């Protein structure tokens, strides 16, 4: 059994995949499994990947390439890779990003040392010439992390015990291809008994690219993906956790509808899941924003005026 399985869903990343693959193949961890899921990419991504792999003959036996017969999109591709993973722990890497060479060994050793279900770390956001360091220190258990409302949604900064995923069938919902990492992370944390954060450690490099899905209009993000994601997660938490997760559910709703503000759909924002406004004071936001958001939720016309001058400049807290 490999120590770690790394899952990479490949689609239309010809100009980025070589950098990503080299950072993976140059890992200091020897016993590692790489699963590349070719989601019917229309470009030369796979040819670039195979050419890069030829420079690492010692890694070739550790690489599995899965060719999807049809384009399953992000959720389906991730699920295929997760179900194929045979490693003790599983982690994802987006093909347009890259990682430091010691990332997976460092995280694996911490997982073994602490017998953790989940080990998480920090990441570096690269946006043009701007570089930002981010880390979310989780609580010692997954449930506590959820209830604290302080957790990152990415799967790329989390090393997860593979049995936790398979035993609880935690795979991306097939119809949600944006925010699929969120719906997996929330369920993983719900079942994780022990969570460890590697503080002051930022080995994952997230690259903001021009064709990133985050450039999609906010209304489309909400209506096609985030609304469904919130509804499915609320259903899961309500069925399995009951009333004690009410605030968590409201926070997920509040977070998932924020793309509406970026599209200046202020009335729709105000009228969607109005129940989540009652808990704004509990959300991990700066106090001045809590007060303002609570007030604006009751005044959609004034909110429309403020939206361009205030909310568009507001850097949302990333859960």
* pLDDT tens sequence across 204-228: 999 987 655 556 778 899 999 999 9
**pLDDT at residue 291 in the model:** 75
**pLDDT at residue 209 in the model:** 72
Q: Which of 273, 286, 168, 271 lies closest to 229, judged by CA?
A: 273
* Residue 97 pLDDT exceeds 80: yes
Contact call for residues 62 and 2 (beta carbons, < 8 A): yes
- Full-model pTM: 0.90
Q: Which helix (H) or strand (E) holds 16?
A: none
**pLDDT at residue 267 in the model:** 80
104 Cβ neighbours under 8 A, 6+ residues apart: 4, 6, 27, 29, 32, 91, 159
Residues 232-254: pLDDT tens digits? 999 999 999 999 999 999 999 99
Percent of the chain with pLDDT over 90: 75
Q: What angle do CA 192, 111, 117 make, to 5 degrees?
A: 10
Give strand pairing partners of 204: 99, 123
Give strand pairing partners of 158: 120
Alpha-carbon distance of 18 to 21, in angstroms, equals: 5
In the Cβ-directed half-sphere of 152, how many Cα atoms lie within 13 Å?
Answer: 18
How many residues in total does the chain contain? Answer: 319
CATH of 4-214, one of 3.90.420.10, 2.30.40.10, 3.90.550.10, 3.40.50.300: 3.90.550.10
pLDDT tier for residue 289 given thresholds of 50, 70 and 90: confident
* Residue 315 pLDDT exceeds 50: no
pLDDT tier for residue 270 given thresholds of 50, 70 and 90: confident
Helix runs in 39-94, H state only: 45-53, 73-84
**pLDDT at residue 316 in the model:** 46
Residues 298-310: pLDDT tens digits? 766 666 565 555 5
b (16+ CB within 10 A) / e for 106-116: bbbebbeeeeb
Alpha-carbon distance of 100 to 44, in angstroms, equals: 25
The domain locations on the chain are 4-214, 216-313
Residue 126 burial by CB count (10 A; 0-12/13-18/19+): exposed, middle or buried?
middle
Residues 158-212: pLDDT tens digits? 999 999 999 999 999 988 988 889 999 999 999 999 999 999 999 999 998 765 5
In 10 A of CB 295, how many CB atoms?
13
Alpha-carbon distance of 92 to 157, in angstroms, equals: 8
Alpha-carbon distance of 309 to 145, in angstroms, equals: 33
Q: Which of 237, 238, 239, 213 lies closest to 226, judged by CA?
A: 213
Give the mean pLDDT of 310-315: 49
């Amino acid at each position: 059994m490999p120590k770690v399985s790394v899952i990479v869903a490949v689609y239309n990343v010809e100009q980025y995949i070589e950098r990503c693959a080299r950072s993976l193949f140059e890992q200091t961890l020897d016993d590692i499994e790489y699963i590349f899921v070719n989601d019917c990419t229309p470009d030369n991504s796979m040819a670039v990947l195979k050419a890069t792999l030829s420079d690492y003959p010692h890694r070739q036996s550790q690489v599995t390439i899965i060719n999807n017969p049809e384009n399953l999109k992000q959720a389906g591709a991730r699920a295929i890779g997760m179900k194929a993973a045979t490693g003790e722990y599983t982690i994802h890497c987006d093909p347009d990003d890259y990682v430091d060479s010691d990332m997976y060994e460092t995280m694996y050793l911490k997982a073994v040392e602490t017998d953790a279900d989940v080990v998480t770390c920090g990441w570096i956001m690269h946006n043009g010439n701007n570089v930002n360091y981010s880390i979310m220190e989780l609580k010692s258990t997954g449930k506590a992390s959820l209830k604290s409302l302080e957790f990152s949604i990415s799967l790329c900064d989390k090393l997860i015990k593979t049995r936790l995923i398979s035993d609880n069938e935690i795979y991306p919902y097939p119809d949600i291809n944006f925010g699929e990492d969120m719906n997996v992370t929330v369920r993983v944390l719900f079942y994780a008994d022990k969570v460890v954060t590697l503080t002051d450690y930022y080995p994952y490099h997230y690259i903001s690219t021009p064709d990133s899905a985050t450039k999609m209009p906010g209304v489309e993000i909400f209506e096609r993906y985030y609304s469904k994601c919130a509804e499915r997660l609320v259903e899961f938490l309500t069925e399995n956790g009951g009333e004690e997760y009410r605030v968590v559910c409201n926070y997920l709703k509040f977070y998932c509808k924020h793309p509406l503000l970026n599209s200046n759909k202020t009335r729709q924002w105000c009228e969607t899941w109005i129940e989540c406004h009652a808990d704004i004071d509990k959300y991990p936001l700066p106090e001045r924003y809590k007060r303002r958001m609570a007030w604006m939720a009751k005044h959609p016309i004034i909110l429309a005026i403020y939206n361009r001058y205030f909310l568009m400049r507001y850097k949302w807290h990333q859960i």
